[in-house]
Structure formats: structure tokens, C-alpha cells
Amino acid sequence: MIPRLETALLTTAGALLLATGCGPVIKGTWDASGHTGIADAFDLDLKLDGDFKGSAQFATPDGKGLSVPICESSLRENRVRFVIDTSGATSCATVKTPLAFSGAIGEDVIAGDIQNAAGDKVGIWRAYRVPAK
């Protein structure tokens, strides 16, 4: 009799957690970095809203910096995916050289791979949540 009660309580608690939205929260500012190829390092600052839309600042060590839109964003089962264009496209409609960032979300961290338009892995990246002030 007791095991059934425990199962019922655990099931109810799980349903309540799902109903309150205890999934990953992506909203906020993220400080990211990574590399494509062997040594092409970059910095990426992400500012994301609750709908996983936002903007990004992409910069290379040589001082080249771009403000780029975040395109094709999705968040599913603790995995994030978005596309940016480091060639300087100012809107998602004008993307020429897309890079797809995908990764697993942990507690205040995201880590994953970068793919080119052909789907080839071309790099890695990681991002840390910037604490709210």
C-alpha cells in the first residue's frame, strides 16, 4: 500500500514541476567564446530575451567586431541551437555564411559544437551566464 502512495506523490510532484516550467532558462546575457578551425578564436556576447530572440556581438582577437542577429533559434530538451553570420549580415534574410551553434545547457553554462552550412563540424564553443546586476 505504501509504495503506491509514494508513486502517486512522486508522480504528482513531477507533474507540478513540469507545470511550473522548471526547464532551462535562456533569458539573459551570456559571455561566450570558442574557436573554429585550429586557432581561429572568437568572443561572442549574447543578449537573449524570453523567446530566445536577441542579438550577438561577435569579435576576433584582431579587433574585428560585428553586431549580428541571432537566427533560427530553438530550445529543446536542454539543448540550444541558433545561427549567426560572421560575414556581417544585418538581418536573418541576408545571411551568407551561416554558422550553426548547438549545445547542451547546464547550470549557467552552455557548451557545444559549431557547424557550417554543409553540416560539417568546424569548431566548439562555450558560454557562461553573466549574473544579473
The mean pLDDT of the chain is 81
Each residue's pLDDT tens digit, 69-127: 999 999 898 999 999 998 888 899 999 999 999 999 998 999 999 999 999 999 999 99
Q: What is the chain's length? A: 133
Closest by Cα among 73, 66, 99 to 84: 99
The Cα–Cα gap between 95 and 70 comes to 10
CB 112 within 8 A of CB 125: yes
Q: Note the pLDDT of residue 24.
A: 58
Q: Which residue ranges make up each domain of the chain?
A: 24-129
Confidence of residue 1 (pLDDT cuts 50, 70, 90): very low
Q: Count of alpha carbons within 13 Å of 106, Cβ hemisphere only?
A: 7
**Out of 1-10, 23-32, 87-96, 121-130, which region has the weakest mean confidence (pLDDT)?**
1-10
Name the class of domain 24-129. mainly beta
The Cα–Cα gap between 45 and 130 comes to 10
